[in-house]
Structure 1
């Protein structure tokens, strides 16, 4: 598979050990961490994922019909080798940094390929499995064209708290605390965008 993505002229990403992570506290015990240019060798990781991940298209029932999921997906489960060594390092660094809060390692890596602005993900929380009852974390590494991650409280009366984080090439976003239970997130369609890959690191039994 080939894509038209303008890689960076210089790979300016720093290493996970020194990247600056900024936390935003949200309501109901949720929080979001953001680190810019977090993943080193982001250009090479992006190209490798496009080429080597066994991307698949999914279909799902919606109301009275079956529709295409508007992105390509693949999940690396426990024990599966990740497609690039930088992702293995990233997962280990995330575990080292967040295990004191999370209490366990990151174990799986879900990959989503947004081919253009028509690909998206609707409002949701990762509440299949333990995320429906327990505080947990989802760490997202974004590669490729920038897209905005929108977040809003599940409570309709608190929707004025909604905001968005632009995820750039090599950026890290971590959603923690009660975020999956008390907030929702989405990547909406846009008029124009280049290809983007999202890698979501999760603990055991969080989907």
Structure 2
């Protein structure tokens, strides 16, 4: 089970200039900033208890299966479920000179919940770059990235309050995933900020 801290800092976000950039190749890059979101304990609790989580089912390989995580989506113009998410989205939009308009939330209840390899390619042409910013709350889970053209994957463990931004050609030339794990692990919430039309 995820344990909150007794010394929770004042809610807010840190300076994005401290992010570490990793060049992946093929024009793709990833920025990582551990502990970027302060007040993550309170935000985790507010989202876990207050978001109208949905259990979806999707067609896959001629059958309908449960999506292995709970979902919520805040489209452009919808109020976000916590003011701290507005602050985070605003800071990201200014720093990356990208208007982040939507927020997709995923609740990974335990290690059995996951997301398969994919890229956020909907809503763009085959040569258009974009940004996808991911804020992680709760238990530490690795985000894996692998080149679509083949080759080894890269591993980015995301802990409570961490930020990861995928940019450049990343959504076109690399896939990402959150794998299942048999190790005991608590719940995790992922918040993905995207520009208009990108899914």
TM range (shorter): over 0.9
- Cα 1:19/1:45, change in 2 over 3 Å: farther
**Alpha-carbon deviations, 1:148-179, whole Å to 9, x = none?**
000000012xx13x210000000000000000
Q: TM-score, normalized by length of structure 1? A: 0.91
Unaligned runs of 5+ in 2: none
Of 4, 9, 19 in structure 2, the residue corresponding to residue 7 of structure 1 is 4
Provide TM-score, normalisation by structure 2. Answer: 0.94
1:147 corresponds in structure 2 to 141
- Matched residue of 1:92: which SS? helix
Name stretches of at least 5 consecutive residues in structure 1 with no aligned partner.
none
1:176 partnered with 2:167: yes
Q: How does 1:82-161 map to 2 (within 5 A)?
A: 82-99=80-97, 104-130=98-124, 132-156=126-150, 159-160=151-152
Does the residue aligned with 2:67 lie in a helix, a strand or coil? strand
In the alignment of these two chains, the number of paired residues is 197
**Greater helix proportion:** 1
- 1:195 alignment counterpart: 187
- The 8 Å contact of residues 19 and 36 in structure 1, kept in 2 or not, is answered as no
